A and B are shown apart, each in its own frame.
Chain A
Amino acid sequence: MTSELIDFTLVSVALLGIGIYGLAVKRNFIRMLFAVEIIINAANLNLVAFARFLPDSGGQSLALFSIAIAAAEVGVGLSLIIVAYRMYQNVDIADFRSLKG
């Protein structure tokens, strides 16, 4: 292999940074979901990279579980967006504060 583990780790750190930026700055619910997806993918990349270099099949199995659970999370997140949009006619999370218990 020509690429080393540190290269993959640095890409994943960059993706994590971008995801945190998106979560901190954006107020649009859909964009925040994009940011969460980017962070989850950074974690998956790390799992598979370490699984390749150790080498161990556990990392790949965990990545598969993570992808499946992320799919469930996106489904619920998108339906929450649709419900909140129907209630407020907006996707700005500042408008959703009255949802707080």
Chain B
Amino acid sequence: MADAVFLALSVITIGSAIAALELRSLIYGSIALMGTLGGIAGFFFLLDSPFVALFQLAVYVGSIAVLILFTVMLVKRELIFKNIEDKRRKFAGFGLMLVVMVALGAVFLDSGIKSMNTDEPAVDFRDIGTDFVTYYWPALILMALILAGSVTGALVLAKREDVENDQRTN
């Protein structure tokens, strides 16, 4: 059975996920998203995976959430508070959400993982490091290239060409 810490973390995670999507202000929404990402990091600590939890905190809460917050601040003020959605789509989306939750929840509750528990010690994070430099090394290099490529691509996409042209004419 779930303990108090788990229940508190689930309330924080799911509650702030709903708040991130439903709060009127996008700025408060992105702060609520930070709560979700932090809650997931808490779950990783509960699952005895401190390395992944710290990675989650550094990458998601530390950089992605701040990046989203800065992008939101670049958008016009009235758009931050503007709620664009129609009522019928909202009901349909709510129905879809319930169907997904009930169907997948029923499948999981009916499956063998319901009684799955472990007394074995958690995986040591040194093993992950060893895996990374032995078994996964081609994937690690590929990931580094993808990250470098995506950062370059993002910079090229966001570059303002009109500013450069203005300077050229001056």
Contacts and interface: CB of A to CB of B under 8 A. Distances in A.
A57 B83 CA distance: 43
Given A24-B89, A30-B26, A60 B123 contact: yes
A25 B89 CA distance: 6
A78 to B, nearest CB: 5
Interface in B37-56: 37, 40, 43-44, 46-49, 51-52, 55-56
Interface string B147-158: 100110111011
A83 B158 contact: yes
Contact of A37 (B37, B55, B93, B160): B37
A60 B85 CA distance: 37
B170 interface: no
A37 B97 contact: no
A57 B157 CA distance: 37
B118 to A, nearest CB: 5
A53 B116 contact: yes
Interface residues of B, number: 85
A36 to B, nearest CB: 11
B122 interface: yes
A65 B143 CA distance: 8
A8 B52 CA distance: 16
Nearest to B106: A13
A22 B84 CA distance: 12
Contacts of A27: 84-85
Interface string A59-101: 0110111011111111110111111011001111010000000
Given A65-B139, A67-B59, A72-B150, A17 B74 contact: no
Nearest to B136: A61
Given A44-B56, A55-B120, 11 more contacts: A7-B6, A11-B10, A13-B105, A17-B104, A37-B37, A37-B64, A52-B123, A56-B123, A60-B125, A70-B64, A76-B154
